[in-house]
Amino acid sequence: MKQRLLNVLIALDQLLLCLLCLGNSYPDETASSAAWRMELKGKRTGKLFRPLIDWLFTWIEKEHCKASFFAELQRNQAPPEAR
C-alpha cells in the first residue's frame, strides 16, 4: 500500500510538471529532477524552484532534487527488465 501511494504521488508530480510547462520537461520526469536539470543549465525556473523543492523535501533527504535527477538517469523508476 505504501508503494502504491508513492506511485500515485509521483504520477501527480509528473502531471503537475506537464500542466505547468516549467521549461522543457520530458515524459516520466518529476518536477524535482527537472528543477535540478534546469538549474544546471542556468535557467531561472530551476534557480527559483530547486531550492524551494529541496526545502519542502528536507524531511525525506538532503538535496532531494539532485537525488531525483540521478535516480532518473539510473532509471530507478523503471521495472528491472527495462533498466
Please give the full DSSP string across 45-58, using - where no structure is assigned: HHHHHHHHHHHHTT
Domain positions in the chain: 2-82
Q: Under DSSP, is residue 74 helix (H, G, I), strand (E, B) or coil?
A: coil
pLDDT at 22 over 80: no
In sequence order, the 6+-apart residues with CB closer than 8 A to the CB of 55 are none
pLDDT at 49 over 70: yes
Contact criterion met (CB below 8 Å) for 35 and 23: no
pLDDT of residue 66: 96
pTM here?
A: 0.82
Cα 22 vs. chain centroid, distance in angstroms? 12
